[in-house]
């Protein structure tokens, strides 16, 4: 089967992503230049070109949006090649930011996940079988998935608090523990989103939605305006992809959702 049209879709989505990010960066430059108060305190508050990690994050985000736009089509596995490049760049970004939990995940978990996705998606496409169709999880796997979300979130919270503060359990004073909780939720939701994409489960987009919301909340606490805008952008893109997958899911593949949809 000729897959040229799939690669063309990836190329087209990459161009769209470049245009979208170009417009976003241009808008932020106008805001930073003409609307924010003058002075050193506000310079670089949106566009941090002096920060190597931030600079690496820009192409990672551009390629990441192309990845999401491509796998929005449950038939197009070529987006995972972009996902591998995105994961590599994000791993470098988090390494520069000394976020070693995220560095490990992107290098040693997400890249292998995306390689597995290429293998399974391309095989199911060639077979043309029912495994090619997107499906919701069944109820037992949904319960297990929710348990893993809580377990990984709590584990990352305790680990990062121990690394940063030398104590296993975070203090409830102040809001620092909220940031740790949201960071853990960011890790766990992205883990489950990437994992369930391998098996073409529509639930993966629920976790991408949680990922976007957690990112917005985390960067509100950290006061990072650019990342708030960026994750709001991701929220829209992931929402569009999720809706496309739900529409592509046949009623007989609703899984746990069939309990609520008659």
Q: Tell me the pLDDT tens digit for each residue of 55-97.
A: 999 999 999 999 999 999 988 999 999 999 999 999 999 999 8
Q: What is the pLDDT of residue 34?
A: 80
Of the candidates 183, 182, 185, 208, the residue with the CA atom closest to the CA atom of residue 195: 208
Domain boundaries, the chain: 1-128, 133-262
**What's the pLDDT at 226?**
83
pLDDT in tens, 144-176: 999 999 999 999 888 877 776 666 666 655 567
- pLDDT for 134: 93
Give CA–CA dist 54/193, Å, rounded.
Answer: 24
User: Nearest CA to 74 among 125, 134, 1, 10?
Assistant: 134
Instruction: Provide the pLDDT for residue 118.
Output: 94
Whole-number pLDDT of residue 35: 74
Distance CA 108, CA 102 (A): 10
Stretches where the chain sits below pLDDT 70 are 1-2, 36-45, 125-132, 164-175, 262
pLDDT for the residue 46:
77
pLDDT of 1: 45
Q: What tokens were used for 32? A: 């930073």
């Amino acid at each position: 089967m000729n897959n040229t049209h799939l690669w063309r879709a990836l190329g087209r989505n990459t161009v769209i992503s470049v245009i979208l990010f170009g417009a976003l960066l241009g808008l932020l430059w106008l805001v930073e230049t003409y609307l924010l108060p003058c002075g050193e305190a506000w310079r670089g508050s949106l566009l941090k070109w002096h920060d190597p990690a931030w600079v690496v994050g820009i192409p990672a985000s551009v390629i990441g949006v192309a990845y999401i736009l491509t796998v929005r089509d449950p038939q197009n596995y070529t987006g995972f090649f972009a996902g591998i490049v995105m994961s590599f760049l994000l791993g470098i970004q988090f390494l520069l930011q000394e976020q070693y939990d995220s560095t490990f995940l992107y290098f040693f978990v997400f890249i292998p996940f995306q390689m597995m996705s290429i293998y399974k998606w391309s095989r199911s496409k060639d077979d043309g079988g029912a495994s090619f169709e997107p499906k919701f999880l069944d109820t037992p796997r949904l319960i297990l998935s929710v348990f893993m979300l809580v377990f990984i979130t709590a584990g990352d919270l305790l680990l990062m608090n121990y690394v940063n503060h030398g104590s296993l359990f975070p203090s409830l004073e102040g809001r620092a523990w909220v940031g740790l909780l949201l960071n853990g939720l960011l890790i766990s939701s992205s883990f489950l989103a990437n994992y369930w994409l391998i098996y073409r489960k529509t639930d993966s987009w629920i976790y991408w939605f949680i990922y976007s919301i957690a990112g917005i909340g985390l960067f509100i606490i950290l006061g990072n305006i650019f990342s708030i805008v960026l994750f709001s952008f991701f929220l829209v893109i992931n929402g569009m992809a999720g809706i496309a997958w739900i529409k592509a899911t046949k009623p007989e593949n609703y899984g746990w959702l069939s309990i609520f949809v008659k």
